[in-house]
Amino acid sequence: MYGSRGVGAFAGRRASAVVLGAALLITGCSSGDGDGEEDGRGEAAGAGITQQPKENDPFWVNPDGLSARKVAELRQDGKETEAEQIRKIAEQPVAEWISPENPEEQARDHTEGAEKAERTALLVLYNIPHRDCGQYSQGGAPDGDAYRDFVDGVARGIGDRSATVILEPDAVLHLVDGCTPEQFHEERYDLLSGAVAKLKGLKNTKVYLDAGNAGWGNPDQIFDPLKRAGIDQADGFSVNVSNFYSTEDSIAYGKQLSAKVGDKPFVIDTSRNGNGPYTEGAPDERWCNPPGRALGETPTVKTADPLVDAYLWIKRPGESDGECKGGPQAGQWWEAYALELAKGSS
């Protein structure tokens, strides 16, 4: 039932075709400037992007991220109106998705950039074998050993620096909804629990294991698989990654699930949920580049419920979900869609 699955095609780092490339990830994350101003905001490189006040949002804004570069390009082309719309994305901390190429170097550069700005790096690991069940973001590590090497590399790159990791969107959900074949289940549980243990062994790293979204099914179906995947060792879980369910519905879903996994807290991806989910067209395609959506609540640790650790922008707004509704490949920048999301927000 893919229409309600968690991610579809992500901000997607595909093993077979890394859309933006490791080089873009690496060059974009080593120049985060420090605060430089008493109010916690400091001028950054590129388009003059600033860090958000730390008390509201401790996560790092990459001043040379893709959206920041797009702001600069639009300005150079004299498109000031469009540049100011894209700035709504560029000025917020968005997750860095670690690709399989040189994961240690990527993790090191992102966390060093965040440390320089006295912030926390927000990272996503999305490389589990047999990922996305043959859909737009299919791929992942070729086998379990390759995945363990990938996680080990990320851990070495993070070191003792501050990081928050969103671990494997959809990986547990697809064990429950029938998407991932039975013969891969035991290995996946082992890989996920091992990744949680490895990352939690670091000094300043928090780990949130992905737990689907408010639209896919009942929390009763996923709480035991989450336990087998290591939720007890994790800091909590994530919901609504790359999806569009409202913050209110996501809180309700998360609280129901939290009660079944030891009252663990959770984080919500609010990057594109400003107008809620799309309800028209074929159910199995509603998650993919739906029209009429909007940016959601800006990232913050000041949330509407004590069980919600943060609202985060995990999906990178403006990057395609996949080749549907006229979109480019998963993970590629789609300016028209980015502008639509920005204009639809307040």
Would you name the residues annotated as active-site residues?
132, 170, 321
CA distance 267 to 206: 12
State the amino acid at position 8 in one-letter form. Answer: G
Residue 50's beta-bridge partner residues? 43
The region, left, alpha or beta by phi > 0 then psi within -120 to 50, assigned to residue 281 is: left
Report the 10 Å Cβ neighbour count for 55: 10
> Cα 261 to chain center, whole Å?
22
Asked if 301 and 56 touch (Cβ cutoff 8 Å), the reply is yes
Tokens of 146: 């390759």
> Cα 101 to chain center, whole Å?
18
Asked if 321 and 9 touch (Cβ cutoff 8 Å), the reply is yes
Q: Which strands make up the sheet holding 236-239, listed edge to edge?
A: 96-98, 121-125, 163-167, 205-210, 236-239, 266-269, 308-312
CA distance 169 to 125: 8
